[in-house]
Amino acid sequence: MTPSRFDLQSHSLYSDGALPPAQVIEHAAAAGVGLTALTDHDTLEGVDEALAAGARHGIEVVPATEITVVDEAGKDLHVLAYCVDHRDDDLLDLHGHEPKLGPISDTPWRDGVASLAFSARPTAVPVPPPCDD
């Protein structure tokens, strides 16, 4: 069944949101959203919590993240990555195993992502297969 309402970009307190991941999902479900993605900036820390909350509230949660990259002019760009394997060692090495930002009130956002930024150069990117059911 295709959900009639979806939200494919949401943030929790692990980046620049105000709520824990479970509450983000709870609010989405209460609003009638059937499909969502937690896309915290430069961290995968909240994905497990969001997936568990999705199962409890009957909402499909796509494992995702918003990766900060820097172009050649030094401008920040944000790349949304969906259907990621949030336990993949290479991706965790990119983001770090611990949340880089913590609650946004504890750490300035800009300082937290600066160490994670990497150079963005135009390249051919293979199209990944769809998320597993």
Ranges of residues in the chain with a pLDDT under 70 are 1-3, 90-133
CA dihedral 9, 15, 16, 19 (to 10 degrees): 80
Any domain includes 128: no
Any domain includes 131: no
Note the pLDDT of residue 111.
43
Question: How many distinct structural domains can be found in the chain?
Answer: 1
Note the pLDDT of residue 95.
56
User: What's the rounded Cα separation, in Å, for the pair 96 and 46?
Assistant: 13
CATH of the domain at 20: 3.20.20.140
DSSP code string of 29-77 = HHTT--EEEE--BT--TTHHHHHHHHHHHT-EEEEEEEEEEE-TTS-EE
Note the pLDDT of residue 2.
59
Note the pLDDT of residue 20.
96
**Enclosing domain of residue 24:** 6-119
Note the pLDDT of residue 78.
84
User: What's the rounded Cα separation, in Å, for the pair 36 and 55?
Assistant: 12
Note the pLDDT of residue 94.
60
